[in-house]
């Protein structure tokens, strides 16, 4: 018999991990809903044509495609046509754009939706990178109002507050400013090269980025002006004022600076913590057109949340001029970070709160009835399935981190008593069976 295994880059989640993951998803979901975002779901598979060509050549290569079935596969092989007709979702953004276009007549705009579902990428597996992982996306589509940016920044602040993760820094910039800078240095035609390389600044440093830009055809004077503009010092307010002066007359830059100021002003009013202006933040993705957001933590080397404003997400599916703004939380990265920082609540250690020892058929039947009462009060409990040795039953409670064990033998049964053991303190008390609940809450 071959050893059983799962596909490369995928994971099984055992109970403790599954409870912790569910805690993260639930927290994120609750915050999304507090801000009036509604859930949607899309299928795991999309028609292959919906996804191909949307993520560049690399994305197409990393996409998991689904084999045609039956006669369709046969004729595809005979006629040398493509073997696949469907593909597994590569992210939630393109399916969301497809969803908005397909259901536009059923939706009310501005449409505020969230979506928490897995995506699949045949990436080379490595630490913290998986072939199946969850994205938690939240977007407002169909409005240009900056209130939406402020809502999303508040959501970020509240999610990490509720998760108990401090030290989060929310980096904010605006692609219109970067576009204005490109204009200022006469490099509008190389805007993609500019943003893609700026994005690497954190990782490879200023010098290397300069070299890369040179390779991409930038002149030395352009590069040095660029770095001068990006390395202004002072408070956010001061830097924005200085930048406004240097980029005066460049309309798009002025608009970007105004937007940034307004978002920062309203966010301050909303007490959003950890917000930082980062003029070097670029976010490589081409579809961003306004605010861009990235959330980092000093104890982690990748961003744990990010997003921004876009103007043409749905155009590729035939719906033009729909502006939107959205962010995506990286649940797997947040999980790793929370585990490192030891932030998961202790209640997640066990599903069961009370184990009833099984002393035999009649005692077990008695305990089953008590268990029903506890459950009616919302207390998770179970009666050990078999009248096994006491040592085995207590070991079960121990291994599963069950906090309370209740023993009711035949004597206790007759006296309507229960021996209640607190498994953390080791303390044991005898109580009336009607009083178990008050002793464990």
Q: 323-352: which residues touch its own copies (CB under 8 A)?
A: 351-352
Rounded-to-integer distance, Cα 149 and Cα 292, Å: 9
Q: Is 201 helix (H, G, I), strand (E, B) or coil?
A: helix
Q: What is the DSSP string of 353-378?
A: SEEE---SHHHHHHHHHHHHHHHHTT
Instruction: Supply φ then ψ for residue 356, to 5 degrees.
Output: -90, 125
- Contacts of residue 143, Cβ cutoff 8 Å, sequence gap at least 6: 109, 110, 323, 324
Least distance in angstroms from the C-beta of 409 to its own copies: 17
The reply on whether position 44 binds its own copies by CB under 8 A is: yes
Binding mask 72-101 for its own copies (x = CB under 8 A): -----------xxxx-x---------xx-x
Binding mask 140-179 for its own copies (x = CB under 8 A): x--xxx-xx-xx--x---x---------------------
The reply on whether position 408 binds its own copies by CB under 8 A is: no
The reply on whether position 15 binds its own copies by CB under 8 A is: yes
Least distance in angstroms from the C-beta of 33 to its own copies: 5
Q: Which of 50, 174, 222, 303 binds its own copies (CB under 8 A)?
A: 50
Q: Which of 235, 269, 342, 425 binds its own copies (CB under 8 A)?
A: 269
Q: Which helix (H) or strand (E) holds 87?
A: strand 84-88
Least distance in angstroms from the C-beta of 340 to its own copies: 21
The reply on whether position 57 binds its own copies by CB under 8 A is: no
Exposed e or buried b per residue across 250-277, where buried means at least 16 C-beta atoms within 10 angstroms of its C-beta: bebbbbbbebbbebbebbeeeebebbeb
Q: Which of 1, 78, 298, 438 binds its own copies (CB under 8 A)?
A: 1
Site for its own copies in 207-226 (CB under 8 A): none
Closer to its own copies at the Cβ: 63 or 281? 63
Least distance in angstroms from the C-beta of 375 to its own copies: 5
Instruction: Supply φ then ψ for residue 320, to 5 degrees.
Output: -90, 160
Q: What is the DSSP string of 236-267?
A: HHHHHHHHHHHTTT-HHHHHHHHHHHHHHHHH
Q: Which of 24, 27, 28, 40 binds its own copies (CB under 8 A)?
A: 40
C-alpha count within 13 angstroms, C-beta hemisphere, residue 210? 13
CA distances 411 to 42, 367, 373, 414, Å, are 57, 13, 21, 5
Contact region for its own copies (CB under 8 A) — 231-239, 242-250, 366-374, 424-432? 366-374
CA distances 244 to 148, 223, 257, Å, are 24, 19, 7
The reply on whether position 37 binds its own copies by CB under 8 A is: yes
Least distance in angstroms from the C-beta of 351 to its own copies: 4
The reply on whether position 264 binds its own copies by CB under 8 A is: no
- Contacts of residue 47, Cβ cutoff 8 Å, sequence gap at least 6: 85, 86, 87
The reply on whether position 103 binds its own copies by CB under 8 A is: yes
The reply on whether position 110 binds its own copies by CB under 8 A is: yes
């Amino acid at each position: 018999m071959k050893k059983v295994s799962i596909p490369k880059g995928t994971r099984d989640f055992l109970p403790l991990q599954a409870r912790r993951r569910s805690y993260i998803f639930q927290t994120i979901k609750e915050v999304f809903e507090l801000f009036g975002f509604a859930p949607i779901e899309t299928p795991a598979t999309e028609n292959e044509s919906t996804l191909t060509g949307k993520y560049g050549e690399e994305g197409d290569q990393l996409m998991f495609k689904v084999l045609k079935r039956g006669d369709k596969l046969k004729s595809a092989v005979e006629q040398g046509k493509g073997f696949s007709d469907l593909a597994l979702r590569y992210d939630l953004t393109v399916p969301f754009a497809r969803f908005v276009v397909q259901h536009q007549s059923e939706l009310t705009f501005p449409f505020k939706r969230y979506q928490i579902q897995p995506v699949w990428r045949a990436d080379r597996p490595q630490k913290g990178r998986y072939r199946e992982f969850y994205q938690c996306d939240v977007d407002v589509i169909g409005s240009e109002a900056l209130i939406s940016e402020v809502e999303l920044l508040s959501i970020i602040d509240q999610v990490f507050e509720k998760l108990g993760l401090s030290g989060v820094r929310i980096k904010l910039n605006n692609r219109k400013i970067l576009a204005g800078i490109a204009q200022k240095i006469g490099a509008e035609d190389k805007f993609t090269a500019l943003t893609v390389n700026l994005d690497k600044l954190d990782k490879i440093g200023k010098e290397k980025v300069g070299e890369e830009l040179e390779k991409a055809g930038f002149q030395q004077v352009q590069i040095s002006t660029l770095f001068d503009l990006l390395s202004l010092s002072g408070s956010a307010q001061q830097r924005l004022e200085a930048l406004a002066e240097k980029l005066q007359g460049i309309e798009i830059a002025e608009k970007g600076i105004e937007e940034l100021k307004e978002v920062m002003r309203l966010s301050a009013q909303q007490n959003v913590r950890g917000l930082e202006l980062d003029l070097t933040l670029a976010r490589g993705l081409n579809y961003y057109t306004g605010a861009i957001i990235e959330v980092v933590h000093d104890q982690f080397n990748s961003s744990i949340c990010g997003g921004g404003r876009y103007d043409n997400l749905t155009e590729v599916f035939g719906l033009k001029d729909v502006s939107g703004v959205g962010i995506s939380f990286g649940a797997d990265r947040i999980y790793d970070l929370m585990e490192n920082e030891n932030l998961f609540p202790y209640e997640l250690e066990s599903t069961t709160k009370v184990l009833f020892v099984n002393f035999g058929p009649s005692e077990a039947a008695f305990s089953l009835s008590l268990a029903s009462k506890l459950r009616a009060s919302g207390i998770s409990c179970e009666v050990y399935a078999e009248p096994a040795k006491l040592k085995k039953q207590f070991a079960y409670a121990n291994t599963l981190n069950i906090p309370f064990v209740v023993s009711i033998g035949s004597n206790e049964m007759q006296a309507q008593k229960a021996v209640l053991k607190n498994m953390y303190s080791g303390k044991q008390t005898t109580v009336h069976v009607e009083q178990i609940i008050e002793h464990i809450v």
